[in-house]
Amino acid sequence: MTTSRAATAPARVFAATDVHYLPGGGARAAVVVAGDAAFSAVLAERTAVVFAVPPYQPGAFFLRELPPLRAVLAGVRGLGLVVVGGYVDLDPGGRPGLGAHVHAEFGVPVIGVAKTAFRTATHAVPVVRGRSARPLFVTAADLPPTDAARLVQHMAGRFRLPDALRRADALARSSADRPGQPVATR
């Protein structure tokens, strides 16, 4: 009997992430994992605490964000897409933002969803969701920006920020992790 590659290949999953900095130092990252790009079928949620993160450095935000994201995404199998809060590229010339570093690290398409306009990110695609008049600003790596914007437009949730990103933010800010959810790294 033969098996097809599709039958043995791991299913692709989609991850929405966020990072929150803890008052005593360190950071908590959260991921919401879904079985579809609209995040309508959430499969798992988890957090990871990194006890030491580098201080903020202008122009090098990724140095602070990447270690917690590595920790929380470490156990995610079949990763097909990562959605980050922020920009993939900071300008049309491709100056890398957090999303570009996540793309380089994990080798999967990345969508950046920023809540505020960044003056040099004139290439970001504005997306209006829900009843909000304020757009989100979408950038992408390894997929066309218009496709990324369409994915964000159709992500589950009726508010400006898609539910998966709202949930990742809430988990990252949560002071009470649930048993079995956190993954702590040093």
Question: Cα separations (Å) of 48 from 79, 142, 163, 185?
Answer: 17, 26, 20, 7
The structural domain count of the chain equals: 1
pLDDT digits (tens, 9 = 90+) for 39-95: 999 999 999 999 988 877 776 777 789 999 999 999 899 999 999 999 999 999 999
- For residue 126, pLDDT over 60 is answered with yes
- Strands 125-127 vs 136-141: parallel, antiparallel or unpaired: antiparallel
Residue 157 lies in a domain: yes
Beta bridge partners of 108: none
Q: Which domain CATH number covers 135?
A: 3.30.2170.10
What residues make up the domain containing 123? 11-35+44-175
What's the whole-number mean pLDDT along residues 138-154?
97
- Does 182 fall in a domain? no
Whether residue 140 has pLDDT greater than 60? yes
